[in-house]
Every structure is written in structure tokens, then in C-alpha cells.
Amino acid sequence: MIKFLMGNILYVLLAVGVVFNLFWLGGNKSKLKMNTAGVVLFSVIHTVVGVLFVKTFAFLESGTFNGMSIFGAVFFMPLAYFLGAKLFKRNIADVFDVFTVCMVFTLLLARLNCIFEGCCLGLPIPFIEGARWPTREAEIVLYIAFLILFANKATKKVSTGVLYPIYMIWYGVFRFTIEWFREAKYFVGFFHISHIWAILSTVVGVCIYLYITKKNKGNSKKIKKKALK
């Protein structure tokens, strides 16, 4: 049994992701105005779409679907959330804040899969034979920190919609830093290609964060003016 599970570890982890989504979305279904059938459906869809995005981004980088690139989820999942919120006429801030937690947990599992598969290694540590920088483990710790912070924020009665851009900003900063300690296949001059994606993630995250906070301040001022009338 254990041998079978280890031989199909990616599917096992994806199943764990679906189960997490079931509990998380189930606990927030009133906020999303979602029934039980919707919770089940979107728990599966979120996982499947996430896999397709990371595979697609890997293809754009390398021309093959064999690998995965977490930046596929970073850049493409917001489009899915936005379109989903518009299509089903849900509050965009609620959708982003709640589903960001699902994405972070899924990416945590993706990095666990890297450990099981022996890929995405850190560079050898100088003067320590056989040792490598624990880049994958550090990323998992980062995701756990995100989960603790975001899970608390996402359950607030009023959503701000800033959780995703906050993730983009800090993941970009983290990834740019830690990328110097990781093995890389693709380069853009002196930088790993992931350095470029990390910079883009941070810049886009900052722009979205500033836009949302400015919009939220404008909305709060309008509410206060109406209350004073």
C-alpha cells in the first residue's frame, strides 16, 4: 500500500488538496454564497485548474509539459478568480481572500511533491559534503506562515481583497532571494528565469495592492459621507 502511494505521490497530494478545499470552502460557503454541491465542485476544479496552469507555464518556459512552474499559479489563478467572481456574480474581494488560502495550501503540497520527486534542488553547500541548501523546505515554511496569516484574515466578516497581492509581493521577494541558492535550467543573462518572474510577481503585486487599498479608502469615504447625510 505504501509503495503504491509513494509511486503515485502527486495524485495523493492532489487528493489531500481537494480534501482541504472541501473543509475550507465548506467553512466559508456562507461568505461565498455557495451550496454544498458548489463546494465539492469548486474544490475539485480549483485543484485541476491549478495543475493546468503550472503545466502551461512550464511549457511556456521550456516547450514541454513534463515539468511544473509555480509561477503559473501565481500569475494565472487571479484571472480564474476574477472571471469566476464575475460569472457567478460574487463579491470579488470575498472570492480572492477565501480562494487565496486554497492556492497557498495547494502550492505547499506542490513543494512537498518536489521533495518526494527529488527535483527543484538547492545548490550544494560549500565545504559540507552531500549537503544542499534547504530551499524547498524554506518555501514550505513560508507557505505555512502564509496559511496562518491568511486563514485568519480570510474569515473576517468584511473582505479587503488584498491577500492575493500580499502573497504575490512577498513570494516574489522570497523567491528572488532564495533563487540564488537553487539549481536552475533556464537563464536570462546572469539571472535565472525565475528571478525575472519573481520581480514581475512583486511589481504586479504592489500595483494591485495599491489599487485595491486606494479603492477601499474611496469606498469607505463614500459610506461615511452617506452616513452623515
In percent, the amount of the chain with pLDDT more than 90 equals 72
Sequential DSSP letters for 160-178: -S-HHHHHHHHHHHHHHHH
Q: Which residue has the cell 533563487?
A: 179
Give the model's pLDDT for residue 220.
59
Higher pLDDT, 60 or 35: 35
d(CA 224, CA 111): 45
Q: What is the β-pairing status of strands 191-192 and 187-188?
A: antiparallel
Query: Which pTM does this prediction carry?
Result: 0.90
Q: Which residues does 89 contact at the CB level (< 8 Å), separation at least 6? A: none
Q: Is the pLDDT of residue 222 over 80?
A: no
Q: How far is CA 64 from the centre of its chain?
A: 22
Return the amino acid letter for 197: W
Higher pLDDT, 24 or 219: 24
Task: Say which range, 4-18, 39-53, 98-112, has the weakest mean pLDDT.
Answer: 4-18
Give alpha helix (H) positions in 88-192: 92-117, 135-154, 163-178
- The residue extents of the domains of the chain are 2-228
Per-residue pLDDT band for 227 (boundaries 50, 70, 90) equals very low
